[in-house]
Amino acid sequence: MGRPDRIAPGDVPALELRGLGKTFHLRSGGVLRRRSTALHAVRDVDLVLPRNGILGLVGESGSGKSTTGMMALRLLEPTAGRILLEGTDITTLGSAALKPWRQKMQVVFQDSYSALDPMFTLQQVVAEPLRIHGIGTPDERAERALAWLERVGLHRGYGSRYAHELSGGQRQRVAIARALILGPSVLIADEPTSALDVSVKAQIINLLQDLQQDMGLSILFISHDLSVVRSLCDRVAVMFAGRIVEAAETEGIFGAARHPYTRSLLDAIPQLDPRNRRRRQFRSREDLAADIPVLSRAELAGDVAPSDTPRLVPVAPGHLVEARVTADPDTRSGA
Amino acid sequence: MSTDPMTGPAAAPEMLSRPGRRQRGPLWFAWRRFLANRAAVAGGVVLALIALLAVVAPLITPAGPNDQDFLSEALAFPSGAHWFGVDDLGRDFFTRIVHGARVSLTIGFAAAAFSVIIGIPLGAAAGYFGGRTDWIIMRVIEIFSVVPPLLAAMLLGALTGGGFWMIVAIAALFGWVQVCLLVRAQIKAFKEKEFVRAAQALGGGPSYVIRVHLIPNSISPIIIGFVLAIPMAMMLEASLSFLGVGVPPPTPSWGQMINTGLDFMYFYWHLAVFPTIALAVTVLATSLFGDGLRDALDPTMKAQ
């Protein structure tokens, strides 16, 4: 009912972000001497989430990855760029026009405790999407909600319980059921496992993987946990200071990272073998921000004009790195 | 640090296991905290007793509240026949006091109810929308906080001639501010919660989110605001009636009785003392009960 019935052709990505940006204006000072500083939380982010694929978005806290996810969901209004859901521009749709599209894109948050209304029973939580979209009678909604609780691995006896009675992993299962009950094509998972124990984390990852395959979901998986990203994602984009600095197939990032920030992220993964333990060096944000790779045209996988402003350039098929491009290998200034 | 769980086999999944024993809810803990507060429990019991007396007033009193059945015994001191004595117009004073509780409690509860009815939507709008809406509502609240309630109430009472519903309206006019601030603070804290964002991501509009998620989660501050508005309204009624612009005679009102009692105080002490005690005990009991409820329902203590 009211659902967008336009079936996009197979080559249209599930979700595409084009030049997305968010600038916050911070006001300081008093009434008389008001200063306004612009904070670029996210700048010029291009992302393509293919159908039936999992794209990892990694980066440190404050790198803008969650802000990007919230903008893709239109929970935060972007100040620049476009959001294309199944090829349709939803950037400027009003709330009524957007409502049917919201069935196609859902979200799972990090903090499963605050993600569930403490006054709702779990069956009400899971049935809420159906209620908002006016699908089915109350009895049908309740039955579908209980069926979904079972699908995410919870006994239907939990339907009458409240969120505070569950463990973190169980709550996250409920949040996943709520996100998927409308049958969306895109799921934005904003650090869904970073608040969980290691063993529970593995169960939630397996659940997401199973559901992704069953439903043909496309997942934008936002995380700072590189081991999870490596096991789950097909492709990874690395964000630093509001920009995407490197994007590649998962093995391209983990095997052949080119950007210094990606390398320092990979260095931060704890070593399991004690012989490989060493005193780790952490580079400062300013140091990393200044260290922009310089690549010569010969190193690139495509024909790119030389440019002194850093931008994403291909270094291998499907592997993009933010770099300055010089015409000639000899002019490299020692990156 | 124990052994690394990453290397071991994945822990047995909690697949489809029946839920265990039901855990106690936050309300159960709030109830426990309330019971641990003796002053609040005493306040609640006393308030309940006064309310009970008010309800069954005609059954336990020897005469109607306005019946001058004992004119020959006017101004008699307390005795076995007249527990609180007889007033200057020959009416049984115990009857008057008990019927005064009816007026006091009705005005207290009615004013608190109207305070909540005005305060919830304004507080919800200010807290949820913020910005200009919040600015306007906060400025209105500031106007009400700057004006001394009694002076404004006297002015309004004198202009309108008082009366029962007028006093309810005046008390609600000053009572909603507290409810509004409590609800606004709670909604401001909850609107950034992820379950609210999830509802917005599902397409729930502002009225849906406020009605279904935010107001039910503000039930504690609403109860607190309601209970704390009651003694304020009762005090306001007594003050206005004392000053002669409140509930008009012959309707029994404690404020009015205190006023009359003052004239006879040096010779017939009971006419001033009993209504004062009745008012003090009722207001104190309601305040203690309200404070206890506030402490018990404090959301920061919920996780205990």
CATH number at residue B99: 1.10.3720.10
Is the model's pLDDT at B264 over the cut of 80?
yes
Residues B198, A202: C-beta atoms closer than 8 Å:
no
Asked whether residue B55 is domain-assigned, the answer is: yes
Is A269 near chain B, with CB under 8 Å? Answer: no
What does the pLDDT read at residue B59?
78
What does the pLDDT read at residue A305?
75
Least confident among A95-109, A199-213, B194-208, B256-270: B256-270
What does the pLDDT read at residue A146?
93
Is A198 near chain B, with CB under 8 Å? Answer: yes
A102 CB neighbours in chain B (<8 A) are 201-203
Same-domain status, A91 and A190: yes
Nearest to B14 among A118, A119, A170 (CB): A170
What does the pLDDT read at residue A2?
37
Residues B30, B304: Cα–Cα separation, whole Å:
10
Asked whether residue B12 is domain-assigned, the answer is: no
Residues A132, B11: C-beta atoms closer than 8 Å:
no
Residues B194, A197: C-beta atoms closer than 8 Å:
no
Asked whether residue A226 is domain-assigned, the answer is: yes
A122 CB neighbours in chain B (<8 A) are none
* Alpha-carbon distances of B76 from A161, A168, B70, B71, B271, rounded to whole Å: 63, 71, 9, 10, 10
Q: How close does chain A come to B117, measured CA to CA in Å?
A: 21
What is the mean pLDDT of the segment spanning B117-137?
Answer: 93
Same-domain status, A83 and A208: yes
pLDDT in tens, chain A (335 residues): 334 444 445 578 899 999 899 988 877 666 666 677 888 888 888 999 999 999 999 988 888 888 999 999 998 899 999 999 998 899 888 888 999 999 999 999 988 888 998 888 899 999 999 999 999 899 999 999 999 999 999 988 888 888 888 888 899 999 999 999 999 999 999 988 888 888 888 899 999 999 999 999 999 999 988 888 988 999 999 998 888 888 988 888 888 888 888 888 888 777 666 666 665 566 777 777 777 788 777 777 777 777 777 888 888 888 888 888 887 655 545 44
Asked whether residue B286 is domain-assigned, the answer is: yes
Asked whether residue A57 is domain-assigned, the answer is: yes
Is the model's pLDDT at B66 over the cut of 80?
no
Is A118 near chain B, with CB under 8 Å? Answer: yes
Same-domain status, A96 and A212: yes
B200 CB neighbours in chain A (<8 A) are 75
In a mutagenesis test of the A interface, which of B195, B214, B302 is the best target, namely the one with the most A β-carbons within 10 Å? B195
Residues A245, A262: Cα–Cα separation, whole Å:
8
Asked whether residue B69 is domain-assigned, the answer is: no
Asked whether residue A296 is domain-assigned, the answer is: no
Residue numbers of the domain that contains A92:
12-104+184-256
Same-domain status, A20 and A90: yes
Nearest to B203 among A70, A133, A170 (CB): A133
Q: How close does chain B come to A126, measured CA to CA in Å?
A: 11
Residues B203, A98: C-beta atoms closer than 8 Å:
yes
What does the pLDDT read at residue B298?
67
- Higher pLDDT pick, A6 / B133: B133
What does the pLDDT read at residue A144?
93
Is the model's pLDDT at B181 over the cut of 50?
yes
Is A129 near chain B, with CB under 8 Å? Answer: yes
pTM of the model: 0.79
- Counting the structural domains of chain A, the total is 2
Q: How close does chain B come to A258, measured CA to CA in Å?
A: 29
Question: What CATH number is given to the structural domain containing A54?
Answer: 3.40.50.300
What does the pLDDT read at residue A175?
93
Same-domain status, A243 and A130: no
Asked whether residue A212 is domain-assigned, the answer is: yes
Is the model's pLDDT at B6 over the cut of 60?
no
- Counting the structural domains of chain B, the total is 1
Residues A270, A272: Cα–Cα separation, whole Å:
6
Same-domain status, A100 and A17: yes
B25 CB neighbours in chain A (<8 A) are 162, 164
What does the pLDDT read at residue B125?
94
What is the mean pLDDT of the segment spanning B4-24?
Answer: 53
Residue numbers of the domain that contains B53:
26-63+81-301
What does the pLDDT read at residue B13?
45
